[in-house]
Structures are given as C-alpha cells and as structure tokens.
Structure 1
Amino acid sequence: MSDSSNGPPFFSWATIKNDVFPSIVVFLVALPLCLGIAIASGAPPAAGLISGIVGGLVVGFFAGAPLQVSGPAAGLTVLVYGLFEKFDIKLVMLVIVVAGVMQIVAGFLKFGQWFRAVSPAVVKGMLAGIGVLIFCSQFHIMIDDQPRKELVIGGVHLEAGLANLLTIPQAIGRVFAFDESKSHHLAAGLGLFTIAVIVFWKMAPKKFQLIPGPLLGVVLATLFSELFDVPIKRLEASIPANFFSSLVFPDLGIWMSAPVIEILMAAAGVALIASAETLLCATAVDQMHEGERTNYDRELIAQGLGNSVCGLIGGLPLTGVIVRSAANVSAGGKSRWSAIMHGGWLLLFVAFLPFLLKQIPVASLAAVLVYTGYKLVNPASIRELAKYGRSEVFIYFATMITIVATDLLIGVVTGIVLAACKLLYVFSRLEIRREGDPAAGKLTLRLIGTATFMRLPALASELEHVPGNVELHVNFEQLNYIDHACLDLLMSWEKQHEASGGSLVIDWDGLAARFHERYAEKNRGESAREASGADERSIDETLRSK
C-alpha cells in the first residue's frame, strides 16, 4: 500500500461541502463513544470529549490517513484505567505528553512504515472482530441496557466481548417481556426504526442521499421521541454543564518531582499500543475506500502531536478509531475535512449548545453503531481470502475470534504470528519426488515448492542416495524459488558425481532459467566492459606512440 499525494486539494470548496454531512454523522457517533470510554477509563467524562475535539482539530489537520478519525479508543481503556489507579490525574497527563513525544520521534525515524507489512487476512479479521464487539456491546445499549463487563460460566470468567455476545438472547428476552416499568421495548423499537431509516434510505434517489442515512435516522428518531415523549435514556446525563471548567492544565511542580522511570515505562506502553492500534486501523480504512492512501509516518507524527496536546489540557490518550472511521467512509467522507469538522462540531455543541444534544436518544446512536458493526463483519471478504487458500481463512477467523474473546492487541498479535508461521511454512516446504529406475542408468529428481537453506539437509540426503553411475535430471518446473545455498549444493555435488562416472542434467525451466539468463547477462555486461576497457587502453597506447 503506497503513499499517495493524489488526493483531493486541501482547500476545495466542493470537497468541504461534500464532507459536511459525513462530519455530522461522525460527530454523532463520536459523542457517546467519547463519554463512554472516559467513564470506562475511570476519567472525568470531559476528558473523553477533549480527546475527541483534539482528534479532529489537531490530528485531522496533520493526519497522514485523511479518512481516519481519531479520538479516545476502547483498546486503551484497561491501560488508562490502571494509570488513573496508580497516578494522580496530573501525572497521568504527563504520561500522555511523553507518549505523544515518543510517537513524534518514532514518526520522524520512519517506524510507521513497518505497519504496512500486515497480512490482509489479519486486517480483515481485525475489522470483523471489532465489528462483532461493536455490534454486541451496542446491541445492549440500543435496548437501554448496560453492556456486560464480564460473565462467569461454571467458574470461568469471560471477557466483555464474549459476555456481550452470549447475553444477547437474554437482552432480546427483556425486550419481549414488555415490562411497562422498563424502557427496553421502547428503546429497541426506536433503535430498529433508526436502522430501518438507514437501510431504506439507500434505496432513495441519489440526489436525496446527499443527507447520509445515519444522520437522517438519528434526527427522525429524536423528533419522534420528543413528539411522543418516549420515556427512554437520553444524552442529558452525560453532557457536562460547563465544558471549559473541566480542562486540566499542567502542574510543573508535580511534573518535576515525578518518578521518571515509572513515567517513561507507562508512556512507552501507551505509545506502543496507541501507535499499533492507529496504524492497523489506517491499514483497514485504506481497504474501505478508493481515495488517498495512508502516509504512515506522517500519521504517527500527527497522533503524537494530538496526544501531546491532550496531555497538556486534560484529555485521554487518543488513537485512530475504526468505528468513527468506518462511519466516516460509510457516510461518504472524501477528505480530512470530515475529521476536522467533526472536532469542530464536538467543540461547538459541547461548549456552547449542549441543550441541543441532551435530547438525543442513546438508543438511536447505539443503533447507528449496531449497523456499522454489522457492516464491518463482511462475508464477502471471507470468499475473497478463500481464493488464496484455507490458511488465509483460518488466520482471518483466528484473529477475529481472539479479538472477541480477549482484546484487540492480543487478537492482532495472534494474527500476525499465524501469518508469520504460514510464511515460514511456505519457505520451508519442499517436496522431492524421485522418478525412474537406477538400473536403466537414469533418474529424475522433481523439486516442488521452495528450495531454501532450511530444506538443504533433505535435498542433500536425496542426492546421497543417487547411485554414482547414473544420469540425474533435476526438474525445476514446479519450483517457486531456489536460493544460493541449494544451487551451490547442486554444483558441488555435480563435481563429485562426475568423478564417480555419473552426470547431472538440470532442466533450467522457469525460475532456474531466469537465474541463468541474469547470470549470462551479468557475464555479457562484464565482457562488454572489459572489451570497452581494452579498446580505451589501445587508443591511449596509439596516442602515446604518436
């Protein structure tokens, strides 16, 4: 995946106009996530909103992944919760600033490029796993219930992902209980109404689809709930009364007396996980659209700038977030202006117009995420991967299931390890078929797969069993690759075999033929240079003699 500078112009009114509605959709999706992740991290709700604003206005402006949207991420909640348990909030801010500086340095050192070498099966499995997690957790919120943090079955503690997945039937049962004292059935109805609007809006004429379906669904659901005074949960309990009073600024006295080693270790952990999640997310987002590709190092620097700013004003650490990014692409975002404007909407509404947000039903916003999660689990990608073998499908499902059962980082690492094991297997797989009758004085060794130094002992063993007086043919037709060590073995063995009365014939088809062509071209080039040098020496000598 290559970097590209062929995206839309930065200051293009047509692009900005196109990105207005997608930015509002992303804003509506980001708002509850910023609040929920802050609460789950043990931080003030405003800290999540600060990160969302910085993720738009700062990271969005400098981003190397134009359609990726940044903000506080679920993948960091456990780590950040531990920081708030261990440190005072002002020391946590110091950790975030140092983590941001580490990311900036890593970006300038070109470390971001390493994240480009990730198997498509891992990326698609990551998307599917995140999609399942989003769907399951937001399904509970869509019925005005609480997502499960864990589930104990037979003494076994299951993580939140599996807990939410396995308790979906229980949640559906609550909806159909029709308990008048509860709002589950009302919230579910409003959520399904929102999803229906999104789905059916796709069938509307293109000229009407200027308004994204998710935005229309949330607006209609809010109007409906207000008109009929539906008793369901709204955002009013989560919006801070005075946003600016929630900002936390550096205390240099505390920072100067901070435990340096502990701060550096904590910052390194935040920087590593945040960078991995961001750049893997960027790789996934690139596969969701046909526009400008990611500049990984620039994205890493932008994330570092964002985290440094967050730490200076009291925000949570941020990363690129697949939920918001997927919503951005799905709503029709075309440039970085969608991410930038979403940060502006967050600042405008939270700081100056909080009363407009307080009436939005939580179930309607959760329904948008339920639909987004469903879209991320794309069965078509499984059929696509199956064309490249069952191993790719296995890596896909292993990554997805591990993410759901544990967490994002463990799932991605599992996928990468499996992909590396597959690569190792491919480069160590060599089938050697021995054909012919030694009594007739002729044998054939057919090499199938990849001949590298790892399979050198097997090849040497086969050669040792060849009688000394036969003509051996080595067939390369089904060989994908042969390295210098195996070629050198064949050449050395040929000399020994000829000394014992035999001969070696290599069928230089395919890869071996190309090797000889390159070797011959090299020799011809050296001969030409030698001839040219001889001509020049002859001319010099003639001139000197005259």
Structure 2
Amino acid sequence: MPTMSSSSSPHSPPNPPPLATPLWRTVLRHDLPASLVVFLIAIPLSLGIAAASGAPLIAGLVAAVVGGVVAGAFGGSPLQVSGPAAGLTVVVAGLVGQYGWAATAGITCAAGLLQILLGVTRIGRLALSLSPAVVHGMLAGIGVTIAVQQLHVVLGGRAQSSLLANLAGLPEQLVAHHAGSVGVGVLTVLILLGWPRIPRVKVIPAPLVAVVTVTALTAVFMVDVTRVNLPGSPLAELVFPAIPAGGPLEIATAVLTVALVASVESLLSAVAVDKLHPGKRSDLDRELIGQGAANAISGALGGMPVTGVIVRSSTNVAAGARTRASAILHGLWIAAFVLAAGALLELIPMAALAGVLLVTGLRLVQLAHIRTLRRHDELLVYVVTAAGVAVLGLAEGVLAGLVLAIGRVLYRLARATVTASEEDGVWIVRIRGTLVFLGVASLVRTLRAIPVGAPVRVKLHVDHLDHAAFEAIEDWRRGHLARGGTVELNRAAFRAALHGDTTRPGWLTPWQQGQVVPAPDQRVSMLAGIREFEDSADLIRPMMARLAADGQRPTQLFITCADSRIVPNMITTTGPGDQFCVRNVGNLVPPYGSNSNSVDAAVEYAVSALGVASIVVCGHSHCGATNAALESVADDGSGLRTWLRHLEPSIRRAVALPDIVDPATGGILSPADKLSVANVALQLENLRSFGCVREAEESGRLELIGLWFDIGAAAARLVLDREPYLVRADEELATATTRADL
C-alpha cells in the first residue's frame, strides 16, 4: 500500500519559503473595501447615538473619526472598530443633563487619561473579572432604556430624562403622535429586521439601507418630519471641554464611570473579535491605552466617549479586513464625508435614526444570554442588574448586580447540606456542598440525632472541608465508636476535601496517574471501582431512574474507534442517555450494502427509530488501525485484515490531499494521522449512502459532523472536506456563538 511522507527527498532542493504578501496589496485588496462598508454603517449609528445621548450631532461624528483613527492606530485589537457606542448612551445623557456638553467633554477627556493609566499599569484586564451576568444585565438595562427613549422620537416627540418618565409619558405620546415620524420609524424598523433575511444582499449593512431608503422616500414625497441639523461649518462649531462644576467626589465618580464602562465594553468587544477571527490575538493592555488616547483626544475636540463597538467590528471582520488599516481608513472616510458632503446628512429624518437605535437597543437584550444564565443559575443577577440600570441608573444598577453576585458566591461557599436517614438498618449521612466552620453547628446537630450504637456510613460529596468541620466529624466519630456504634467513611475522600484536592472525580484518578493494576487483581480492582461508583451514585440516581422509566432519547449517534484511549462522553461532556454510540476498529462506516450488519443496524435504528439530530464520526491521532493499514503486510485472511480493507478508499483520498496542518501547533500531521482525518471525511460520505440518513439530512432533521481527537493534546478538532481540513472546535464554537449573539 502507498505511504505518505511530508518531507522532501534529500537529493531535491528545498522548497523556497512562500513570499509574504506586501502590506499595500493587503490594504488595497481587503482593508480598503472593508473600510468603506464600516464607514457606511458608522454614519447612521454615530448620528443616532449622539441624538439619543443629548449630545450635539457633530460630537458623534467626531468620536467616530477619532475612534477609527486613534484607537485603530494605537489599540491592541487590530480588527476592532471604535466609536460612539449604545452602551454609554445612558451615561452620557445623564452627564449632559447634569453638567452640560462642554463639561461632559471634559469628563470624557479625563476618563481617557484614566484608561491610559489602567493600561500602563496592566490592571485594565481586571475589568474582565466582572460577572458575565452583571455585564450582560448592564447592557440589557441600557438597551431597554434606549428603546423606550427612542420610541418617543419615532412617535414624533422628545425623549425624557429617565425610563420611568418615558414610560409615564408614553400614553400621551401615543395619542398625540406625528404620522410622518411614525411612518418613517416603522418603515426603518421593518427594513432593519427584514433586510438580513434576503439572500445575497445582506452584505450591505441593514442600517445603511434603512436610512438611505427612508431618507429618499421622505425627500421624494416631501414628508414633514424633523431632520438632522448639522452646523454649516463643522470645525467652527466644535465645543471644547470645560471643567465640570461640582464636588470633587461627584466629578471623580463621573470620570470613573465613563472610564470603567468604556473599558469593559471595549475589552469584551476585543475578546469577541478575537473569536470571530481566530488568527488574531488582542493585546488587552495596549487596547486600553489606545482607547484611552482616543477618549482623551475625542473629549479635547468636543466629541463623545469612544469604545470598541462589536456591531462595527463584526462587520469589519465579515467584510474581509486583515489589518488595522481598515479601522483607520473608515475614520478618514467619515471626516472627508462630513467636511465635503455634510449637507446630505441633513436630509436624514431623526425618526429614521431613532428607528435604528430602537432596534439596536432591543438587540442588547439577548435571549441567548438569558438562556445561558438561567442554566447556570445566574438569571437573578442579570435581572437585578438590568432593572437597576434601567430604573436607578448605570452605577447604581451595576453596584446592585455586583453586590448580589458577590453575596451569592459567599452563600455558595458557606453552604453545606447534611442529611441523615436510616436505610436497611444502616444510618446514611450525606454531606454535600462546602463544609466550613459556619456549618459546623448544623453538622453536629444532625450527627447527634443518630441513635447511640447504630451502624453509620458517611458519604462525602463536598468541594472543600475546613479543619473545624473535619475535627467536628472526627470528635463525633470517636464518641460514636466509644458508645458501641460503627462508622464507615472514605478516608481518602476526607483527606482530599481537607486539602482542597477535589477538582477531579475519584474515578478519574487511577488512569490519570497512569496506574496499572496487576492482572491477578483485575477482578478486585473492578469491584473496588464499582464500590466507589456506588458510593456517589446517589448524585445521579434520580436522573437514572427517569431514564429507566422514560426510555432512551439520545440526540446524537456517535461513531468512533474501539481504541481504549477514546472516551466519547468525556470528549463531548455528555452523560447517560445523551449518545447512542457505535465503536469499531478505525471508526468505519462501510457503504450501505457492504454486509457490515452491525453498523448498518445501528445507523438505521438511530436515525429511523430514535430520531437522532446528529451523527458524529470521530477519528483520533495515533490510531492503530490507520498505522496497520499503511503497513505493507500481506492479507492473511484474518478478520482484522478483512475489516481494514474498508480503509483502502481512505488511503487513496489521503494520498491525493495536500499536507494537513494542526490548527493549534502549526505542525504537519504524520501520514497515519492524515489518513485518520481523511478517513473521517470519507465515512461521512458513506453515511449518505444510507437512504434514511440522506432523507433526514436533506429535510434538515439531521446533521453530519466530523471530529478528530488529538490524544496527546487532549483536544478535539472539527473535520472539514476542504482546506484547512481541521478546525479547532473551541474556536468554531466561539465563532458560532458570537455570530448567533450578533
């Protein structure tokens, strides 16, 4: 059989290194077109955010220019696009109402200097330590406030200063609505929601399409609506910063609020952009310095606060940007447009910008975040933060969310459940949670309720056991033994809990440490393992009882190799009832009609009877089957060699493929590993030879997934049928999640 080698012949000249693409060519081919797309979407968003914040409209455009040029040039996230963001709308509106615009610009300038200090001292990334529930709750509260506020503008009125005032004035505004503004706003919202659903045109930003369309219609039909009002000489109308009038503590709080909110939003956006473009990695400290410089300059020029904006940044990545030149160019386009064609902006109806902000605000309330936080029991923190931000204000709402989040953490750290019940004449004591000195009183009370002289078995399932709790259990144990009772407990589990070594389950330890049990003791070892499982089986017994009663309803058919190093449930973090699993040598699915009855039966039963939603074929590195298939060994007619004949089409495919690169290390896969990857792709094709699989996939009820597990790296890769053939599963998940959130 043919073998493959990634190295060249020693007698042939080495391949020359590939020539690097000149920077100017990358800019012209990729960054220039992307910058134009981002520029077009930035204009309406910047104007809308400025209007919603109560700032001069020119201030939003100044922030967009400075954010693009300064943060783009000096920030640590090359593909991130910065400018005025919806997340700071409520903050800026409050500052404008309290101090006026000139003082707000001064606060922005000071906040920028504080951001630079945070970046230089390398503590800026601590902002990422905020609970996701608090961050998403903050954005949701801001989004609700913006949406209700802009609804007034859509109705032809003026927004009030707070959410409660806007809600109170909404009925009156509905009665006295302006028909022209309502028509413009409703049409804008409909276009924003409908445009992305039209195939092949969604590459053009929906906000641009909406604003241009309604502007043209109102101009043609001469609809009487309030329009954008820009100064005739933009540079002459810039408002320069002033020192706010107020107490030092009050002003410092305002500066700190702008700096922290802008920093958190920028850093979170930078992380999201990294997930959208796995080839880039942001320097978060440098990003904070770049954002600080942009805010200092924007404030000095009378512009709004600047942050990294995920909407523009994701558009930049999707448009094909490769370097920071795209963000810089987009800022220059805005400046040129405002100076040369500002009159065109004055045709835009304010209700159109309000419609854009209305949809943007509602999109800050992400259902995906709510579902995730609910699964992790963090929904209450999210709701409290969102409600606090919307009703009380940004600082108050975030503080309320943080206090609740910290309180819940402390509660969980100090919470332990101790129960004692009699089962078949033996008293079973179950201890769960975190057992520290705060729970000793309850522990002792439960233990003393056990009858004198009774046999007792202690089951420990705790994250941590401090010395006070350990001594309390030991004192009770000695006393119970002295009074004629018996106590059975797992000493190893107690020692592990006392030293905090409970991060891995007990069943993981033997094979993780590479222990090999001598052959004569295999039966004893198995029985000991069963006993250890049964000691903790009460944790899953209710779930297993439900599975026994309801029958199996797996969502996935998992086809993988019989290799003992592959543990499907461990790789996919699934449990009983989740997977219908087929294992054979080489994770093979011979084409339908090959008389591989066992595999055929499993595939047909999983698809037709169980109705699985996906079929995963999982290969792996260091596979004995692929190594054996590549060896030049005569076919001896054995069952193994007969079975390995099914690998011959995969060998032919692997020979035709170029070298496959591991996406994590950058190294070229060995011939056997390359064959393993090619084999996974071929088995997916073989699955489509089954009529039930083909029909289910074509109807959208079934998805076929290729997976390859690198044993040495303990990492899973997705298998593609095209270059690069392997993709890191964690990055693909992050990209899919981020795109779904957007």
How does the TM-score come out when normalised to structure 2?
Answer: 0.55
Measure, in 2, the Cα distance between the counterparts of 1:339 and 1:406: 36
Measure, in 1, the Cα distance between the counterparts of 2:204 and 2:60: 28
Unaligned runs of 5+ in 1: 1-8, 150-159, 176-183, 526-546
- Measured at CA, do residues 286 and 171 of structure 1 come closer, stay the same or move farther in structure 2, by a change above 3 Å? farther
Q: 1:347 aligns with which of 312, 315, 335?
A: 335
Residue equivalent to 2:419: 433
Residue equivalent to 1:164: 166
Residue equivalent to 2:307: 320
Is the counterpart of residue 121 in structure 1 residue 125 in structure 2?
no
Residue equivalent to 1:291: 276
Measure, in 1, the Cα distance between the counterparts of 2:263 and 2:104: 24
Residue equivalent to 2:198: 204
Correspondences of 1:142-291 after superposition (within 5 Å): 142-149=154-161, 160-175=162-177, 184-206=178-200, 208-235=201-228, 237=229, 239-247=230-238, 265=249, 268-282=252-266, 285=269, 290-291=275-276
Measure, in 2, the Cα distance between the counterparts of 1:77 and 1:418: 27
Measure, in 2, the Cα distance between the counterparts of 1:34 and 1:94: 17
Residue equivalent to 1:31: 47
Q: Aligned residues, how many?
A: 470
Residue equivalent to 2:118: 106
Shift of 1:231: 1.6
The amino acid across from 1:112 in the alignment is: G
Is the counterpart of residue 310 in structure 1 residue 298 in structure 2?
yes
Residue equivalent to 2:94: 78
What's the secondary structure of 1:359's corresponding residue?
A: coil
Q: 1:448 aligns with which of 429, 432, 445?
A: 432
Shift of 1:447: 0.3
- Measured at CA, do residues 387 and 283 of structure 1 come closer, stay the same or move farther in structure 2, by a change above 3 Å? farther
Is the counterpart of residue 400 in structure 1 residue 386 in structure 2?
yes
* Residue pair 1:38, 1:48 contacting (<8 A) in 2 also: no
Unaligned runs of 5+ in 2: 1-22, 514-742
Measure, in 1, the Cα distance between the counterparts of 2:137 and 2:107: 31
Correspondences of 1:356-375 after superposition (within 5 Å): 356-375=344-363
Measure, in 1, the Cα distance between the counterparts of 2:64 and 2:108: 15
Measure, in 2, the Cα distance between the counterparts of 1:20 and 1:134: 27
Is the counterpart of residue 507 in structure 1 residue 507 in structure 2?
no
What's the secondary structure of 1:445's corresponding residue?
A: strand
* Residue pair 2:454, 2:485 contacting (<8 A) in 1 also: yes
* Residue pair 1:128, 1:400 contacting (<8 A) in 2 also: yes
Shift of 1:147: 0.9
Measure, in 2, the Cα distance between the counterparts of 1:496 and 1:338: 75
Shifted more, 512-521 versus 220-229: the winner is 512-521
Residue equivalent to 1:533: none
What's the secondary structure of 1:202's corresponding residue?
A: helix
* Residue pair 2:133, 2:379 contacting (<8 A) in 1 also: yes
- Measured at CA, do residues 220 and 244 of structure 1 come closer, stay the same or move farther in structure 2, by a change above 3 Å? same
- Percent of residue pairs bearing the same amino acid type: 28
Measure, in 2, the Cα distance between the counterparts of 1:161 and 1:361: 24
* Residue pair 2:128, 2:268 contacting (<8 A) in 1 also: no
Shift of 1:398: 1.9
What's the secondary structure of 1:353's corresponding residue?
A: helix
- Measured at CA, do residues 413 and 458 of structure 1 come closer, stay the same or move farther in structure 2, by a change above 3 Å? same
Q: Deviations over 1:468-518 (max 9, x none)?
A: 766543211x43443455335445665666677766532358786687896
Measure, in 1, the Cα distance between the counterparts of 2:500 and 2:413: 24
Of Structure 1 and Structure 2, which has the larger fraction of its residues in helix?
A: 1
* Residue pair 2:108, 2:258 contacting (<8 A) in 1 also: no
Shift of 1:433: 0.9
* Residue pair 2:180, 2:223 contacting (<8 A) in 1 also: yes
Determine which structure has greater relative contact order: mean sequence separation of CA pairs < 8 Å that are 6+ residues apart, divided by chain length. 1
Measure, in 2, the Cα distance between the counterparts of 1:224 and 1:187: 12
Q: Deviations over 1:187-234 (max 9, x none)?
A: 22122222222333223222x322122211211111112222222111
Shift of 1:432: 0.8
* Residue pair 1:202, 1:213 contacting (<8 A) in 2 also: yes
What's the secondary structure of 1:446's corresponding residue?
A: strand
Correspondences of 1:52-67 after superposition (within 5 Å): 52-64=64-76, 66-67=79-80
Shift of 1:300: 2.6
Is the counterpart of residue 386 in structure 1 residue 379 in structure 2?
no
* Residue pair 1:432, 1:459 contacting (<8 A) in 2 also: yes
The amino acid across from 1:196 in the alignment is: L
Shifted more, 271-280 versus 506-515: the winner is 506-515
Shift of 1:430: 0.9
* Residue pair 1:57, 1:340 contacting (<8 A) in 2 also: yes
Residue equivalent to 1:540: none
- Measured at CA, do residues 94 and 186 of structure 1 come closer, stay the same or move farther in structure 2, by a change above 3 Å? closer
* Residue pair 2:465, 2:498 contacting (<8 A) in 1 also: no
Shift of 1:141: 1.5
Measure, in 1, the Cα distance between the counterparts of 2:353 and 2:190: 13
- Measured at CA, do residues 202 and 71 of structure 1 come closer, stay the same or move farther in structure 2, by a change above 3 Å? closer
The amino acid across from 2:218 in the alignment is: S
Measure, in 2, the Cα distance between the counterparts of 1:284 and 1:93: 24
The amino acid across from 1:291 in the alignment is: L
Measure, in 2, the Cα distance between the counterparts of 1:191 and 1:311: 31
Measure, in 1, the Cα distance between the counterparts of 2:401 and 2:157: 33
Is the counterpart of residue 424 in structure 1 residue 410 in structure 2?
yes
CA RMSD between the two structures = 4.0
Shift of 1:146: 0.8
- Measured at CA, do residues 485 and 351 of structure 1 come closer, stay the same or move farther in structure 2, by a change above 3 Å? farther
Measure, in 1, the Cα distance between the counterparts of 2:370 and 2:234: 45
Shift of 1:367: 1.4
- Measured at CA, do residues 436 and 92 of structure 1 come closer, stay the same or move farther in structure 2, by a change above 3 Å? closer
Measure, in 2, the Cα distance between the counterparts of 1:165 and 1:328: 33
* Residue pair 2:140, 2:386 contacting (<8 A) in 1 also: yes
Shift of 1:286: 6.4
Shift of 1:431: 1.1
Shift of 1:460: 4.2
Q: Deviations over 1:433-458 (max 9, x none)?
A: 12349xx8x64421022213332333
Q: 1:458 aligns with which of 426, 436, 442?
A: 442
* Residue pair 2:419, 2:446 contacting (<8 A) in 1 also: no
The amino acid across from 2:225 in the alignment is: I
Measure, in 2, the Cα distance between the counterparts of 1:134 and 1:48: 16
Shifted more, 494-503 versus 443-452: the winner is 494-503
- Measured at CA, do residues 147 and 480 of structure 1 come closer, stay the same or move farther in structure 2, by a change above 3 Å? same
* Residue pair 1:274, 1:319 contacting (<8 A) in 2 also: no
Measure, in 1, the Cα distance between the counterparts of 2:122 and 2:251: 19
